[in-house]
């Protein structure tokens, strides 16, 4: 038995799925990743996690190890997206904050830059290949969660007294779901994708 199996109470199917998912991310096998993303995660959710959450990242690290930050970031993207679909009254403020910080880490990896002679230039690209549908879903979910946070702020009935105080502090520090960093991320993604150049090339034949 692998040492990572100790103190982890997860079905064998889930353990295998997590380890195989990580392996495919590392091998950049887009076809396999697509199947795991579209079917594997959903099927295991219905089978084992219909009435409870998927394990938190610390538990997953005991299963897959701590040598691949990007896999954990991607797992947490799925984890928080699943959480958003479950909460009828919406996620707690801490969950909203943690999801934003996870997206920030993900986009920082995708939009890698470095300072050279006082100029910001692209860094070495991250070794990551994801199916187009997952990339689209990531951006779509990021925008959705931003909109959900705006509605959450506008509706005091959705917040506890403690969350009201925490929200005030969060707004003062502008650490999460502030419109300016959100727009900056989206603009940076647009620039990196070079979609405008591609559309221009298509128009010009």
Higher pLDDT, 155 or 182: 182
Q: Residue 120 — very low, low, confident or very high, per pLDDT cuts 50/70/90? A: low
The rounded percent of the chain whose pLDDT value lies above 70 is 82
Per-residue model confidence as pLDDT tens digits over 45-100: 999 999 999 999 999 999 999 899 999 999 999 999 999 998 877 898 999 999 99
Q: Residue 22 — very low, low, confident or very high, per pLDDT cuts 50/70/90? A: very high
Task: Output the pLDDT for position 169.
Answer: 81
Task: Output the pLDDT for position 87.
Answer: 84
Whether 38 and 133 have beta carbons less than 8 Å apart is answered as yes
**Residue 2 pLDDT greater than 80, yes or no:** no
Q: What would the mean pLDDT of 158-174 be, rounded to a whole number?
A: 79
Q: What would the mean pLDDT of 129-156 be, rounded to a whole number?
A: 92
Q: What would the mean pLDDT of 152-161 be, rounded to a whole number?
A: 79
What average pLDDT does the structure give for the chain?
A: 85
When mean pLDDT is compared across 26-30, 91-95, 153-157, the lowest value belongs to 153-157
Task: Output the pLDDT for position 197.
Answer: 55
Instruction: State the total domains in the chain.
Output: 1
**Residue 112 pLDDT greater than 70, yes or no:** yes
Q: Residue 193 — very low, low, confident or very high, per pLDDT cuts 50/70/90? A: low
Could you list the residue range(s) of the whole structural domain that residue 124 is in? 3-203
Task: Output the pLDDT for position 10.
Answer: 93
């Amino acid at each position: 038995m692998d040492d990572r199996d100790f103190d982890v109470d997860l079905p064998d199917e889930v353990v295998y799925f997590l380890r195989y998912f990580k392996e495919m991310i590392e091998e950049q096998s887009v076809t396999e990743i697509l199947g795991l993303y579209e079917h594997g995660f959903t099927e295991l959710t219905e089978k084992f996690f219909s009435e409870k959450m998927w394990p938190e990242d610390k538990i997953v690290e005991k299963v897959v190890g701590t040598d691949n930050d990007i896999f954990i970031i991607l797992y947490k993207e799925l984890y928080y997206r699943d959480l958003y679909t479950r909460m009828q009254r919406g996620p707690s403020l801490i969950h909203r904050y943690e999801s934003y910080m996870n997206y920030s880490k993900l986009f920082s990896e995708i939009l890698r830059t470095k300072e050279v002679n006082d100029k910001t230039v692209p860094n070495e690209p991250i070794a990551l290949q994801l199916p187009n549908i997952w990339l689209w879903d990531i951006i779509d979910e990021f925008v959705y969660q931003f909109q959900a946070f705006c509605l959450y702020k506008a509706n005091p009935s959705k917040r506890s007294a403690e969350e009201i105080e925490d929200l005030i502090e969060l707004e003062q520090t502008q650490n999460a779901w502030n419109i300016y960093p959100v727009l900056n991320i989206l603009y940076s993604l647009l620039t990196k994708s070079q979609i405008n150049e591609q559309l221009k090339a298509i128009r010009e034949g």
